[in-house]
Amino acid sequence: MSVRAEPGRSNGRLAGWLLLVGTLAALGYAARLSGDGTPDRDFLYTWTAVVGGVIQFGIMLALVLALATGGPMRELLGLRRPRSWGVAAALIVGILVGTLALGAALDPFLQAGAEQGLTPEGWDPERAAPFVANFILIAGFVPIIEELTFRGIGYSLLGRFGAFAAVAGTAVLFGLAHGLVEALPILVAFGLGLAWLRRTADSVLPCIVLHGIFNGLALLASVTLAGNSGG
C-alpha cells in the first residue's frame, strides 16, 4: 500500500512541521528538567487547566492549518472516509487492548502512568464541572488536534519518504512531543498503532476515535479505580 505523495511546497511544509514538533518536544523536556513539568494532581479539577488547554491546542490547530493552507488541505490532513469502518473498528479494538496491556506490563518498571501527573487520584463531586470540561477537552478536542498534527499532515509530509518513514517517524516524534521519559516507550508504541491504523484506513478519522477513547479511559480510570479523593 503506497503513501500518497504531498505535492507542492513540501520542503517548506516539512520544515515548518518539524519545527512545530521540535518546539513541542523542547518545551516539554525543558519544563521537566526545570521541575515545572508535572502539575498538581488536582490540576484537572481547575478551570485554569481548561483555559490553558484550549489556548495551547488552539494555537497548535492554527499552526497546522496554516501549514496545510495553499495545498490540498483535506488530502494533507487525511480528512476522508476510511476504506472500511469495519476494518478500522477491529484495528481500534486491537490497538487499544494491545496498548493497555503493554502499559500494564511496563508500569511496574517505568511507572509511566504517574509521570505526566495530570490524572487526579480520585473523584471529587464538588469540582465536577471543571473536571467534565477538562474531560471533553482531553478526550475530544486534544485527540483531534494531535491526530491532525501527527497522523494528518505529519504522516502526509513524511509519506514521500515511504511508508516506514511515515509510520515510524510520526510515532517517535509523537512520543517525544509529550516531553516524557518513562512513558516514552508506551507513547511510541501507541503512536505506531495509530500510524498503522492511519495507513490501513487511509484516513485520520479512525485515529481520532482511537485516541479519544484511549484518553477518555485513562481519565475515567483515574477517578474510579483510585477511590474517592474527598476533595
Give Cα separations from 64 to 109, 124, 148, 218 (angstroms): 36, 36, 7, 26
Residues 6+ apart with CB under 8 A from 111: 182
Cβ contacts of 120 within 8 Å, gap of 6 or more:
41, 42, 43, 44, 45, 131, 222, 223, 226, 229
In order along its 231 residues, the chain shows pLDDT tens digits of 434 444 446 899 999 999 999 999 999 999 888 866 556 778 889 999 999 999 999 999 999 999 999 889 999 999 999 999 999 999 999 999 999 999 889 888 776 556 565 667 778 889 999 999 999 999 999 999 999 999 999 999 999 999 999 999 999 999 999 998 889 999 999 999 999 999 999 999 999 999 999 999 989 988 887 554 444
pLDDT for the residue numbered 116: 61
Supply the pLDDT for residue 2.
38
Distance CA 128, CA 46 (A): 10
Look at residue 171 in the predicted model and tell me its pLDDT: 98
Predicted pLDDT at 118: 63
Phi-psi domain of 3 (left: phi exceeds 0; alpha: psi -120 through 50; beta: other)? beta
Residue that is written with C-alpha cell 502539575 in the block: 39
**pLDDT computed for residue 89 by the predictor:** 98
